Amino acid sequence: MITDKSLLLASVATLALASAALADGAQMQSAGALAFDNGNVLFVGDAKEGVVHAFDFGESGFDDQAEYQLGRAQTFEGRTIFNGLDQEIAALLGVAAEDIGINDMVVHKPSKQIILSVHRGLGPDAEPVLIKINNGAVELVDLDTAAHTSIGVGPVPTEATLEFGQPLNSLAITDIDYYNGEIFVAGISNEEFSSKLRRMAYPFDDTVSTSSIEIWHAVHAQYETRAPIISQTITELNGEPTLVAVYACTPIVRIPLADLQDGAEVRGTMIGEMGFGNTPIDIVPYVNGWDQTSNFIVTNTNRSAVTLPVDAVATAEPMPHGDGVQPFFAVGGVTQYTMPLSGTLHLDTIDETWAVVVRRSPEDPRNIQLHTLPMPFFFDRADHVVEMNWEDGPDPFGYKAAPPVSYN
C-alpha cells in the first residue's frame, strides 16, 4: 500500500528530476547537422522540431586542444583517438552501442575541439545530446552555458493539422553552412522531391528566404529534374560568393549566392558529375599546406573521396546539355582527384594540417573509429598496404628512422 508520505516523496523526486532534465539541453528535440560560425556559435539542425538552433558558447565555451597530439604528419601517421567511438559514447550515455546514432561531426576551429551530434536511442523519444572530445575523452557538452536561439525551417504544425495528430511531413536537414552572417540550410522532405535552399541571417530575425533550385543533370541527355541537395559549401569564386552543392545522384553545381532570393526559381550551373551508384556525404573546403591551393573534399557512400581544386570549380565550363547531347554516365566535368578515403561517415578539418573522420576501420568495419588524417592527401600510411611499412622493405623517406609516435 502506498502511504501519503511515500507518494509525496516520490512525486517530489520526480519533479526534481524533471526540472533537472529540463534545465539541460531541453531546447533540442533532435540533433543532426552541425556547423559553426567563424566564432563560438554552434548551429544544430533539429529535424524533429523543424528548427535550426544556435548555441552561443562565448569565448570560454570550448577547451583548448592545442596540447593534444593529432599524429605525425611528417611520416603520414594519423592518430586513432578512439576505437569503438560508438561504444565510448554509449557508455557515457548508459546505453548499448547499437542504441545510439552518431549524426554529424564538426570541429570548433579556434580550440580544435571536436563536437558530435548524437541520439541516445533510436526511437522517436531518442534524447539528442552533443558530445565533445576533450583531450582524448568523450564528454557531454553542457548546453546551459550557451545562449540559445532558434529559427523554424521545416514544416510547422498548424492548429488545423494538430487536430488530426502530428503532421507526417518533415524535413531531414542534411547540411548547414555559415557564411558572412548568414546560414544556408539544405534538406530532404519526406513528401516532396525538390531542392529548396533556406537562407537566413544570424542573429536570427525570423526571416527565412527559400529558393527553389533547378539543375541540369548532364547524365540526362534530354531531361532535367529537380533533386535535393545533400551537401554544400560556400566560397568566393572569382570574387563572387558562391554556393557549391553536391546532389543525391551526383552532380556538382555552382550557384551564385546573389541568386538565392526568397521565392526565386534558381537554375544552378552543373559543372561536374561524380558518377552514379553513389551518394555524396560531405563537401568540406581545405587549403593544401604544401602548395597553398584551395580545394574541396567530397566524401561518398560508395566511392572513394575526391578533391576538387577551387580554381577548377571557379573556371569549369557548364556541362553540355540540350538537344544532341549524348547521355553521360561517368565521372566528368570539373577536375576531380581521387583521395584514399573510404568507409568515411563524417569528415571535418581541424587545422591546416589535420582532418578528422568518423569512419569504419579499414580492418574491421564493425569498429567505428574517430581518427585523424594528415592533409593534403588524407592519407594514413598505416591504413594501406605500403611496401614502406614492411620490416625489410625500402625506406626512401626515412620513415622507419623516426621513432614510434608516443602520445601524451
77 or 86: CB nearest another protein: 86
Whether 25 and 123 have beta carbons less than 8 Å apart is answered as no
CB-based contacts of 264, cutoff 8 Å, min separation 6: 211, 212
DSSP at 203: S
Work out how close the CB of 387 gets to another protein at its nearest, in angstroms, rounded to a whole number: 35
Cα distance between the two ends of the chain: 58
CA distance linking residue 349 with residue 167, whole number of Å: 38
Which residues, 6+ apart, have CB-to-CB distance to 352 below 8 Å? Answer: 287, 289, 375
- Contact at 8 Å (CB) between 362 and 374? no
Distance separating alpha carbons of residues 92 and 86, to the nearest angstrom: 10
Specify the residue, 71 or 128, whose C-beta has the smaller distance to another protein.
128
Q: How far is the CB of 399 from another protein (least distance, A)?
A: 32
Distances from the Cα of 243 to the Cα of 154, 213, 253, 363, angstroms: 21, 11, 8, 36
194 contacts 248 by C-beta, under 8 angstroms:
no
The helix (run of H) or strand (run of E) holding residue 235 is strand 229-237
Closest approach of another protein to the CB of residue 43, in Å:
17
Shortest reach from residue 10's CB to another protein, in Å: 5
CB of 75 to another protein, least distance (A): 30
| Nearest approach, Cβ of residue 347 and another protein (Å) | 12
Which C-beta is closer to another protein: that of 301 or that of 342? Answer: 301
